[in-house]
């Protein structure tokens, strides 16, 4: 047996993919590559599987499919030997459970990491013997750095001249104009600030203090998106399915959430009919939910991957069709990964990096919620992000969702709501002035959050009313100073 290998685990991965087809393939394809296997025969079989799943999905894989793929790859002679035929037959007949396949894949992946690290450390030891003492300390340390590029699946051929295809790109844009670049959230001012809605391959972060209404906001946005026909997956770490059902029923029907949770709506014929109609409407929209409380982060990504494949659908290039994934909210599920070597902020940074890479791999937008730290109660900048700077580095936009202060409510007017959305960082679009924000009215009893005008718009209207005219030529709006 080769060092740092697990032959039974390798066989279990291959057997699981053969037995369960897409269900197992989607769990491990992003994790496994031929070099993950230490046995040559297993590498060959995996290459055949990659060929089989390249263009279409399969419920299972049998021996003829493997042999046909081998011929396509010009490695058919490998399976002509009797010992290889027996090895393949053994894999087909090996018993394995679906929920074990990813665990075996993770084990083999970790062993691959260990092999790469060991090999590079061996190489570094040889290079360190050539040190004369004239080198800089950084140069010496650099010899021991680990390069994981050999473990990355290269999806690009290399750098390209940026102008090589720009005319085709611009022509495509001109020939295919759109009203909005991204997916509308039902909050137009917010969409406009972040660059035209939720764009593909983006992480859109909304942060708030506890009990501000993050879940209500996620359901209001999620339902509006799903109602437009775009599939939505809401992954929640705290609320149950019934919690979301009650909130949606209140939001759509206009009845109070207390009357729905208690069942009292059923005592009033009008309320009963409104809630019934709301339930029928909600049942028609592509709005999916799953609790991820206590689930390892790797399993969460597997859940999303399965949903994309089975519910949303993938394009021939492997990217997903239009959809939105709501992640409510970004936090550690337990402290098992925290140690002296890996602190909480590093774990959160790893999670954010994984979501960012996943969004790019499948070209999907994430609407991610998180809690602000105590700084967020006073300061309204990126320092309010709790946990890791990497959240700010990798997100496409970062927005604060806050309760208004009494002074703000008095200044804006009660008719302009009790909450505010304040985009802080926007990689796309026009963003928003630091002194500006989007007024929102939250009525918790009906589980509704309605977007209003921006602070600048309300101030401009008040100025027009007081002065009786609009500054600027022909009534044209001018920037607010």
Domain map (residue ranges) of the chain: 7-115, 188-468
CATH for 7-115 is: 1.10.860.10
CA 208 to centroid of chain Cα atoms: 19
Q: Which two tokens stand for residue 204?
A: 């859109």
Q: What is the pLDDT along the chain (481 residues), one digit of tens a residue?
A: 457 999 999 999 999 999 999 999 988 988 899 999 999 999 999 999 999 998 788 999 999 999 999 999 999 999 999 999 999 999 999 999 998 999 999 999 989 988 888 888 888 888 888 888 887 765 676 666 555 444 544 444 457 798 989 999 999 999 999 888 999 999 999 999 999 999 999 999 999 998 899 999 999 999 999 999 999 999 998 899 999 999 999 999 999 999 999 999 999 999 999 999 999 999 999 999 999 988 888 788 888 988 998 899 998 888 999 999 999 878 754 444 434 444 556 677 778 888 998 999 999 999 999 888 765 556 676 666 655 567 788 899 999 999 999 999 999 999 999 999 999 999 998 889 989 999 999 999 999 999 999 999 999 988 888 876 554 444 444 343 3
DSSP assigned state of 60? -
Count CB neighbours of 291 within 10 A: 16
| CATH superfamily assigned to domain 188-468 | P-loop containing nucleotide triphosphate hydrolases (3.40.50.300)
Confidence at residue 288, expressed as pLDDT on a 0 to 100 scale: 97
List the alpha helices (DSSP H) in 160-240: 166-175, 188-193, 214-227
CB 446 within 8 A of CB 457: no
| CA pair distance 366, 308, nearest whole angstrom | 13
Q: Which residues contact 293 (CB under 8 A, 6 or more apart)?
A: 236, 237, 238, 333
Neighbouring residues of 348: CB distance < 8 A, sequence distance ≥ 6: 330, 331, 332, 387, 388, 390, 391
The SS3 call for residue 134 is coil
- Paired sense of beta strands 448-454 and 287-291, if any: unpaired
């Amino acid at each position: 047996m080769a060092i740092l290998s697990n032959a039974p685990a390798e066989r279990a991965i291959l057997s699981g993919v053969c037995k369960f087809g897409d269900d197992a393939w989607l769990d491990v394809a992003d994790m496994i590559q031929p070099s993950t296997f230490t046995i040559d025969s297993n590498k060959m079989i995996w290459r055949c599987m990659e060929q089989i799943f390249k263009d279409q999905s399969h419920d299972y894989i049998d021996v003829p499919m493997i042999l046909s793929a081998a011929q396509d790859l010009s490695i058919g002679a490998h399976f002509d030997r009797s010992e290889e035929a027996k090895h393949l037959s053994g894999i087909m007949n090996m018993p394995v459970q679906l929920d074990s396949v990813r665990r075996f894949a993770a084990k083999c992946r970790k062993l691959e990491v260990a092999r790469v690290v060991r090999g590079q450390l061996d190489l570094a030891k040889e290079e360190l013997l050539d040190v004369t003492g004239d080198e800089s300390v950084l140069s010496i340390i650099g010899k021991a750095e680990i390069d994981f590029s050999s473990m990355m699946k290269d999806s690009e051929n290399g750098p390209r001249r940026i102008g090589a295809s720009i005319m085709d790109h611009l022509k495509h844009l001109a020939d295919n104009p759109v009203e909005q670049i991204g997916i509308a959230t039902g909050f137009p001012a917010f969409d406009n600030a972040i660059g035209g809605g939720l764009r593909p391959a983006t992480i859109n972060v909304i942060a708030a203090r506890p009990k501000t209404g993050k879940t209500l906001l996620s359901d209001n946005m999620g339902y509006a998106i799903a109602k437009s026909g775009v599939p939505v997956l809401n992954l929640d770490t705290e609320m149950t399915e019934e919690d979301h059902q009650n909130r949606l029923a209140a939001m759509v029907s206009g009845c109070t959430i207390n009357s729905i949770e208690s069942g009292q709506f059923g005592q009033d014929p009008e309320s009963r009919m409104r809630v019934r109609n709301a339930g029928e409407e909600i049942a028609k929209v592509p709005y999916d939910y799953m609790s991820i409380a206590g689930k390892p982060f790797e399993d969460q990504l597997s859940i999303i991957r399965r949903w994309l494949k089975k519910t949303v659908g993938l394009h021939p290039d492997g990217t997903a069709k239009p959809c939105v994934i709501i992640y409510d909210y970004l936090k550690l599920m337990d402290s098992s990964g925290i140690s002296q070597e890996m602190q909480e902020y590093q774990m959160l940074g790893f999670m954010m990096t994984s979501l960012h890479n996943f969004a790019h791999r499948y070209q999907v937008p994430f609407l991610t919620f998180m809690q602000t730290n105590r700084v967020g109660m006073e300061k309204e900048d990126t320092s309010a992000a709790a946990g890791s700077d990497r959240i700010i580095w990798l997100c496409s936009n970062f927005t604060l969702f806050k309760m208004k202060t009494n002074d703000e409510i008095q200044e804006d007017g009660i008719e302009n709501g009790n909450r505010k959305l304040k985009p802080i960082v926007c990689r796309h679009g026009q963003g928003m002035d630091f002194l500006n924000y989007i007024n929102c009215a939250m009525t918790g009893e009906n589980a509704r959050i309605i977007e209003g005008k921006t602070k600048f718009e309300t101030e401009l209207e008040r100025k027009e009313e007081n002065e009786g005219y609009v500054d600027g030529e022909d009534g044209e709006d001018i920037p607010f100073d």
